[in-house]
């Protein structure tokens, strides 16, 4: 809608929804579609899962400074009871591992690793 994306559970900040339907291909393709949107699009996910998602991303890639810096910022906001949302497509492209995978196989592997927590 205009410059806003209301994505429900398809995309979270630094994460994405679980694939209850087991249709990983549909979820992967949806994320690829989001990735092609303009960086300036404001994203309104359905849940405030940013901190948990960033902790997972940090565990996977502790060397990634954008992720570690975002985790610190998000922890500060949450400690003050403030939301981390909305986000933007540009920000998500930097911190969301699910938008960074380049193949369906990598997406499934990452989703399974996240689900195992
Ligand atoms: Fe939900």
Nearby residues for ligand 1 (ion, Cβ within 5 Å) = 9, 46
Quick one: pLDDT at residue 117? 85
Alpha carbon of 16 to ligand 1 centroid (Å):
10
Residue 64: which CATH number? 3.60.15.10
Alpha carbon of 86 to ligand 1 centroid (Å):
16
Q: Count of CB atoms within 10 A of residue 103's CB?
A: 9
Q: Which among 14, 80, 82 has a CA at the least distance from the CA of 52?
A: 14
Alpha carbon of 8 to ligand 1 centroid (Å):
7
Place of tokens 């992720």: 67
List the Cα angle 3/57/6 in 5-degree steps: 20
Alpha carbon of 63 to ligand 1 centroid (Å):
31
Rounded-to-integer distance, Cα 114 and Cα 35, Å = 20
Alpha carbon of 48 to ligand 1 centroid (Å):
10
With H, G, I as helix, E, B as strand and everything else as coil, classify residue 45: strand
Rounded-to-integer distance, Cα 70 and Cα 109, Å = 23
Q: Are 99 and 35 in contact (CB under 8 A)?
A: yes
Strands (E), 1-117: 4-8, 42-45, 87-88
Model pLDDT for residues 14-71, shown as the tens digit of each residue: 999 999 999 999 999 999 999 999 999 999 999 999 999 999 999 999 999 999 999 9
Q: Give the total number of structural domains in the chain.
A: 1
Structural domain of 12: 4-115
Alpha carbon of 20 to ligand 1 centroid (Å):
11
Model pLDDT for residues 69-90, shown as the tens digit of each residue: 999 999 999 999 999 999 999 9
């Amino acid at each position: 809608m205009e410059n806003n994306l209301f994505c429900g559970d398809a995309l979270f900040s630094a994460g994405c929804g679980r694939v209850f339907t087991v249709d990983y291909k549909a979820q992967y393709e949806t994320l690829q579609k989001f990735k092609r949107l303009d960086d300036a699009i404001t994203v309104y996910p359905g849940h405030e899962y940013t901190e948990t998602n960033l902790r997972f991303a940090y565990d996977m890639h502790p060397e990634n400074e954008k992720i570690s810096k975002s985790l610190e910022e998000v922890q500060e906001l949450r400690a003050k009871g403030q939301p981390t949302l909305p986000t933007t497509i540009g920000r998500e492209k930097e911190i969301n591992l699910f938008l960074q995978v380049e193949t369906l196989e990598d997406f499934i592997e990452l989703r399974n690793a996240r689900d195992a927590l």
